[in-house]
């Protein structure tokens, strides 16, 4: 097995652990900055390390389209291609089965897409999804899955659960690279019975890790919290649990208390590009005119370069001038905040103070 997972502390369902991979160890719970196309927008690897990143997420579907997984393989693999020496996890393209609904057709064999890059038709099978990720040389690959939108109905959700299980088994048979570990993805929409069935089917494959997918597809916040918490309880206990596409600061604290170990979300970097910044006192819309003459730092408690060296007035100026430096400084800040929160979460789990941390986060970032 290319990875190992050792729990180091626990309290309730929450836990800290060490996830060891061929490209280094990750202290969990951990947040993975999203570098969909082999780049976290606005930041290069030394800055990601400065922010506290341990592991990155990329997207095999998009990299398979451009520049192509074979090209990246021939150039030495994704780590060398993007200049990142740490662990990398890739999503397989399952979310694109959902998000590109108008451009694809799902059959038992796989998914036929019309490429969003050049309009050409391409066919993504479970075997092809594994091959792309092994070409990239990543540490963790996700099995190809099928997710359905909220409100799709139980019959459609059940059919997707069964297909996800069959595709996961095909993915395991397609594996050829020892350095890449395959994670399965638990589906089942908002139906707890289907979630339990999916988790049981995937657990039978004895994979190195498991993810909970199918969230942020239109379900209510109440449904998300109920089903995500339940799904963690039915996933294998001794393996890393990854909650895909989550979330807000409070979501992260809560999800750790439910038993999850890994997270990813575009929220910190997307919000940074839109001038919405996370601070210890709540969100700040730095583009607002009220900050144009403010000499104070964005967040005195933040160790990032921007908070230590420049004022809110300067950040407001960069954003309003449409200067690309704004993307860099704002993204570095938001990721520093998120990754710093994960460090605080790990400390709280180890000390048994996670509930106190949650109360503090909820005061600043309520639901």
Structure confidence by residue, pLDDT tens digits, 325-360: 999 999 999 999 999 999 999 999 999 999 999 999
Put simply, whether the predicted model's pTM sits higher than 0.75 gets the answer yes
What pLDDT does residue 175 have? 98
**Domain layout of the chain by residue ranges:** 29-265, 266-367
State how far the Cα of 154 lies from the Cα of 118, in Å rounded to an integer: 35
| Per-residue confidence band for 94, with pLDDT thresholds at 50, 70 and 90 | confident
Structure confidence by residue, pLDDT tens digits, 31-64: 999 999 999 999 999 999 999 999 999 999 999 9
What pLDDT does residue 1 have? 66
Structure confidence by residue, pLDDT tens digits, 283-328: 999 999 999 999 999 999 999 999 999 999 999 999 999 999 999 9
List 185's β-bridge partners, or say none.
211
- pLDDT at 127 exceeding the cut of 70: yes
CATH topology of domain 29-265: TIM Barrel (3.20.20)
For the chain, what is the mean pLDDT? 96
What pLDDT does residue 217 have? 87
State how far the Cα of 345 lies from the Cα of 14, in Å rounded to an integer: 10
| Per-residue confidence band for 145, with pLDDT thresholds at 50, 70 and 90 | very high
Structure confidence by residue, pLDDT tens digits, 259-291: 999 999 999 999 999 999 999 999 999 999 999
Structure confidence by residue, pLDDT tens digits, 217-257: 889 999 999 999 999 999 999 999 999 999 999 999 999 99
Q: What is the mean pLDDT of residues 161-190?
A: 98
User: Quick check: 335 and 43 in contact, CB under 8 A?
Assistant: yes
Nearest to 43 by CA among 329, 251, 290: 329
**What six digits make up the tokens of 269?**
């970097």
Reported for 304-309, long-range contacts at CB under 8 A and 24+ positions apart, including other chains, are 304/50, 304/51, 304/332, 304/333, 304/336, 304/337, 305/50, 305/329, 305/332, 306/330, 306/332, 306/333, 307/333
| Per-residue confidence band for 151, with pLDDT thresholds at 50, 70 and 90 | confident
What pLDDT does residue 254 have? 98
User: Quick check: 255 and 225 in contact, CB under 8 A?
Assistant: no
| Per-residue confidence band for 121, with pLDDT thresholds at 50, 70 and 90 | confident
As a residue count, the chain comes to: 367
Question: Residues with catalytic annotation?
Answer: 91, 264
Share of the chain above pLDDT 70, in %: 99
Q: What is the mean pLDDT of residues 8-30?
A: 98
State how far the Cα of 337 lies from the Cα of 268, in Å rounded to an integer: 9
State how far the Cα of 95 lies from the Cα of 101, in Å rounded to an integer: 10
């Amino acid at each position: 097995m290319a990875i190992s997972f050792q729990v180091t502390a626990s309290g309730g369902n929450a836990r800290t652990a060490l996830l060891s991979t061929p490209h280094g160890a990750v202290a969990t719970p951990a947040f993975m900055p999203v570098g969909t196309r082999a780049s976290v927008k606005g930041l290069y690897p030394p800055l990601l390390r400065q922010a506290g990143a341990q592991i990155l997420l990329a997207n095999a579907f998009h990299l398979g389209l451009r520049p192509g997984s074979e090209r990246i393989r021939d150039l030495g693999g994704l780590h060398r291609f993007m200049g990142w020496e740490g662990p990398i996890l890739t999503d397989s393209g399952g979310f694109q089965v959902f998000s590109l609904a108008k451009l694809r057709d799902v059959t038992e064999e796989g998914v036929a897409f019309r490429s969003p890059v050049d309009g050409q038709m391409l066919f993504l099978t479970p075997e092809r999804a594994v091959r792309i990720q092994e070409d990239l040389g990543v540490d963790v690959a996700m099995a190809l899955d099928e997710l359905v939108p909220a409100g799709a109905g139980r019959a459609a959700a059940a059919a997707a659960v069964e297909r996800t299980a069959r595709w996961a088994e095909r993915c395991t048979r397609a594996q050829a690279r020892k350095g890449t570990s395959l994670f399965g993805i638990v589906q089942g929409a908002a139906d707890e019975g289907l979630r339990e069935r999916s988790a049981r089917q995937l657990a039978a494959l004895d994979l190195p890790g498991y993810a909970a997918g199918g969230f942020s597809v239109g379900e209510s916040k109440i449904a998300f919290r109920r089903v995500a918490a339940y799904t963690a309880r039915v996933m294998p206990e001794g393996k890393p649990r990854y909650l895909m596409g989550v979330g807000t600061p409070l979501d992260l604290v809560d999800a750790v208390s439910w038993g999850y170990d890994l997270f990813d979300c575009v929220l910190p970097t997307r919000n940074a590009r839109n001038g919405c910044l996370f601070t210890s006192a709540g969100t700040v819309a730095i583009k607002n005119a009220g900050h144009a003459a403010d000499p104070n730092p964005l967040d005195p408690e933040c160790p990032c370069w921007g908070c230590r060296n420049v004022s809110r007035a300067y950040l407001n100026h960069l954003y309003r001038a449409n200067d690309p430096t704004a993307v860099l400084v704002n993204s570095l800040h938001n990721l520093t905040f998120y990754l710093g929160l994960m460090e605080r979460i790990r400390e709280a789990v180890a000390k048994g103070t996670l509930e106190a941390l949650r109360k503090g986060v909820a005061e600043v970032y309520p639901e």
